[in-house]
Each structure stands twice: as structure tokens, then as C-alpha cells.
Chains A and B, each alone.
Chain A
Amino acid sequence: AQSVAQPEDQVNVAEGNPLTVKCTYSVSGNPYLFWYVQYPNRGLQFLLKYITGDNLVKGSYGFEAEFNKSQTSFHLKKPSALVSDSALYFCAVREGGSQGNLIFGKGTKLSVKP
């Protein structure tokens, strides 16, 4: 069965510092991996995805994520955090080539302080 783990409930970062939000996954085949962001009282917004190719994927708002097959991880990163990045971040996985649905992690709250 597919699963996603986001080990941190909350990540606190000072503005201007780099940020990392962690995600590990488990699928039986090749993974399709995604990051979504949810601002308060809003729906989720797609940030970026890894399907195949380069392990470093760039997405919206300056975010990037690194796929690491040996560690089954897909951590979200940003070189310099902004206060406006404060939100809830969800990692999601789908087994490649399948018709299965996305499986979401429990979410990580990112708080960026001035």
C-alpha cells in the first residue's frame, strides 16, 4: 500500500533563512511525488511534482524539492524563506502508471518569523 510520512507537525524558520519540509514515501512501484500548499481558509495549491528525470525539481514561488530514491524521500526546500511562505504544506504520492488516487501526508505547518 502507498503511504506518505511528514515527520514534523511544524517547522519554524526565520525570514531569510533556508527552509526544509521533510517527506518520505512508500510505494511498490515508481513514485509520482507532489507538494501542495494550503493557506488559511483556502484550498490546496499545486507547487511542484516529480515524475521522472532530474532529481531536483523546481516549482512555484521559488520552492524546489529533491527526490532521493535510496532514502525514499522528497523534501521540500527553499533557499530563503519569506513570511508569506507561512502555510500548511502537504506531500502526496501516487504510484506511477496506476490509476490510483493521490495519498496525502498529514501536513506540516511552516511558520516563518520576521
Chain B
Amino acid sequence: DTAVSQTPKYLVTQMGNDKSIKCEQNLGHDTMYWYKQDSKKFLKIMFSYNNKELIINETVPNRFSPKSPDKAHLNLHINSLELGDSAVYFCASSLGGRAGEQYFGPGTRLTVT
């Protein structure tokens, strides 16, 4: 069974569109994350979220919004997509105090044309 899954794996869309990426974890973890990895492989935290608190990286545009219907899911919604949003987006999860030991999903490659 896949521990952290993301859909879709690939997403190609045009500028200005709105899209969502879904993430699910079946590990029973209480904290989930979204990361952006650019073409140079730099990895940047976008959000971390548990059932108590959403922590937003202040550099993330407000066009990006996380939505969590329950503890096992953290979806990423992006409004008004721009060319610079093209990247690989990773979802991850961790358990409470072991926040450094994260389990990553396979990634979603977003291409904005």
C-alpha cells in the first residue's frame, strides 16, 4: 500500500487556470506538508498543517491554498496559474514530534503553458 499518494502525477494546464492537487496519507500521521521543487531541485516548504495549525511560508503567493477535509488529506489548490508555478510539488507527512522524519509522496509535475 502506498503510504503517501498524490494525484495527478502529471498536470499540464494553461496560464490563468485554476487547478488542484490531491494528497492522501494512510500512515496515521497528524501533520502534512506541501513542498515545491524547482527545476534546479531546490526544495521549498510551502505549508505545514496539522489539526490545530496551518503554517504558511510567507513567500508563498496567496493564489496557493491548502485544504484539508480530514487528517489524512491535504489538497493544494492553485488559482490563476502562472508560468513560474511550473515545478514538481511534493506532499509529505509526519507524526507529531518526529516532524523531521517525513514521508514524501511521489510528486506531481505541474507544467503551465
Chain A residues within CB distance 8 Å of chain B = 32, 34, 36, 38, 41-46, 49, 88, 90, 92, 94, 99, 101-102, 104, 106-107
Contacts and interface: CB of A to CB of B under 8 A. Distances in A.
B107 A102 contact: no
Interface of B: 4, 33, 40-43, 45, 48, 55, 57, 90, 92, 99-107
Nearest to A108: B41
Contact of B41 (A34, A41, A106): A106
Contact of A88 (B41, B48, B57): B41
Contacts of A44: 43, 90, 92, 102, 104
Contact of A90 (B4, B43, B100): B43
A45 B106 CA distance: 10
A19 B93 CA distance: 30
B3 to A, nearest CB: 10
Nearest to A32: B100
Given A49-B100, A102-B99, A43 B106 contact: yes
A53 B48 CA distance: 28
A90 B105 CA distance: 16
A34 B104 contact: no
Contacts of B45: 101-102
Given A90-B43, A106-B41, A106-B42, A46 B105 contact: no
Contacts of A49: 100-101
Contacts of B100: 32, 34, 49, 92, 94, 102
A25 to B, nearest CB: 13
Contacts of A42: 106-107
Contacts of B107: 41-43
